Amino acid sequence: MSSRPDIPIRHSLFATRPLVFITHPVFRKPGFGRHHPLSTGRQAAVLDLCEALGWLAPELVRTAPLADRALLERFHAAHYLDALEEACRTMTASPAVRERYRLGTMECPLFEGLWDRACASVGGAVLAARTALSGAVGFHPAGGTHHGRPDRASGFCYFNDPVFAILTLLDGGVERLLYVDLDAHHGDGVQDAFAGDRRVSFFSVHEDGRWPGTGGLDDRLAGRACNVPVPRGVTDAEYMLLIERLLVPRMRSFRPEAVVVTLGADALAGDPLSAMQLGNGTLWAATELCVAGAGAAVVLGGGGYNPWTTARLWAGMWALLSGQPIPPVLPERAQAVLGALTCDIVDDEDRDPSWCTTIADPQRHRESVTVRQQIHDIVARLLPDRA
């Protein structure tokens, strides 16, 4: 494994583990076009919110390098990279390119800065994994493009940066790696990439029936995958029961040396592209459990199409990882960051005023909420597959 980089140690929930926040100037720029679900400026909002709260000490921030062709070709096909580079250069995609590579479509549009943005997502994931090998927690909220395929774009994802984080950790000597996907959509691209690698185990909680339609209860990869498709309206109580009954035993039995978490924000209540009903404290707790359970940890972003809840989730995650207090009410400068956000697919009447005044969602009394029988049935189906 590589030598330990010069990363300051912070007192946090994880004692003296060093922390690194990875970003790149390209993530402050607009992307995806005007009406795309990812055109909301959520990455810039995370940075602005953390800066407004004094959470981004310069010594904790690293700039993601842009991945080069040699790195990208470890997973992505050269002919796909050629097509993407040419499409980015000309800002056009022929009908054949749209059909073969899914480029220039409503799902995966072409826009200025696309190539650098995609390369920075991969470079940031690799940097996060390298720092994790040295004992740091690598936090890369602009990562999590878990649908990317070797030979095409898919699900708003042009490359697959979690794959590169995992490859880097395996290159560093990790023999037991757990990939945990908390996004509302199943991380099909990551699971398929390592389906034949026994060093990698998968755990995913995602909404049943959502695109891409993979990750069913019986999708287990001979015990190496635990896919947990949850019903619409899943609550904090139900979610934490699944984490406690399924993920915790899996971590104890597998004893991962490294963990990569895709912390999608689309599982939160208020997201327009899912019907899950979680508060951000539940996703923070699940992520903290993962990070505390492995010597090397990478936390990536993922989906999230409500810019207010997404920025709050990832900014708050950084605060918890780095041991910085989350104020009950945001100062004016931080409120201004959230107040300036817009989103065409979240109706005005559905916007909770607290999204602009707080970071943490209200605490809910999980023990007082009835857990549906369907959740107990999921646990019963998957408990024999804990190994």
Q: How far, in Å, CA of 359 to CA of 244, rounded?
A: 25
Instruction: Answer whether 339's CB lies under 8 Å from 356's CB.
Output: yes
Residues 6+ apart with CB under 8 A from 233: 275, 276, 277
Closest CA to 149 of 211, 69, 77: 77
Closest CA to 27 of 163, 126, 140, 148: 140
> Quick one: how far is CA 77 from the chain centroid?
24
Closest CA to 113 of 36, 47, 29: 29
* Residue 254 DSSP code: H
User: Which residues form the catalytic set?
Assistant: 147
Q: Which two tokens stand for residue 114?
A: 């696309």
Residues 6+ apart with CB under 8 A from 279: 236, 268, 269, 361, 362, 363, 364
